[in-house]
Amino acid sequence: MKSVPKHVGIIMDGNGRWAEQRGKQRWQGHIAGAENIDNILYHAISLGVETLTVYALSLDNIEKRFDEEKQHLFRLFYSKLGYAKKKLNKEHIRLRFLGDLTKLPIHIQERADDVTLATSENNKGTLAIAMAYGGQNEIKRAVEKAYANSSDDFTKYLDSIDFPPLDLIIRTGVQDPTITRLSDFMLWQSAYAEIYSTPVYWPDFDCEEFNIAIHKFKESERKFGAVLAQRKDWGGF
């Protein structure tokens, strides 16, 4: 049985549907979802996870969501980043961002830079927030930087260059867990990641649900593209 994954990514889906089922506004679901990040982060770190990356806002979200919902999200991000600076320093956790933050309002960019710098020396674990992010866009930006620097290795310019590869991706709020998708999340880094999907909406995804995902990961057999040695009880097939 495998050990706890070093790097876990979470596609936090279902905030809006969670709110609608309770007769609330969609933005209230995003607040509930943001508050849940703390619970899962500290629990994951306590289990031995080194890096937790959460998919907070995609480039498609910025382009396609209603303006009112985006404004609620931006206010939420700004507020939570102010809180994160104090809380994450207390817990000795560093904060990193993935994505093209220039697509965000300038006051959010400045606060993100401030929290990143303030927590950069923390060494208990890493919370990475994918915001204004797209996996294809990350690769495109990295290739452009590599070309500009006459480098033949674009991976050195990925947002997550110093992160371990993704071991496990959790996607919440999946209506049919037998069919899921990455939604442009860390395409390069997830080459050999295990994917666990659940119908549980993100605001309801608690530590017990996280433990179930970790248990499933430990039970899985990762091959990394290799063909494992045949066992005798397979009858040679």
Chain length of the chain: 237
> Which is catalytic among the residues 15, 36, 61, 137?
61
**Per the residue annotation, which of 13, 100, 159, 167 is the catalytic one?**
13
Cα–Cα–Cα angle for 59, 65, 67, rounded to 5 degrees:
115
Active site includes 13? Answer: yes
Asked if 125 and 158 count as a contact pair (C-beta separation under 8 A), the reply is: no
H or E stretch covering 97: strand 93-98
Phi and psi at residue 74, in whole multiples of 5°? -65, -40
Tell me the residue type at 209: E
61: annotated active-site residue:
yes
Range 194-198, long-range pairs (CB < 8 A, 24+ positions): 194/5, 194/167, 194/168, 194/169, 194/220, 194/222, 195/168, 195/169, 195/171, 196/168, 196/169, 196/170, 196/171, 197/170, 197/171, 197/172, 198/170, 198/171, 198/172, 198/173, 198/174
- The catalytic residue positions are 13, 61
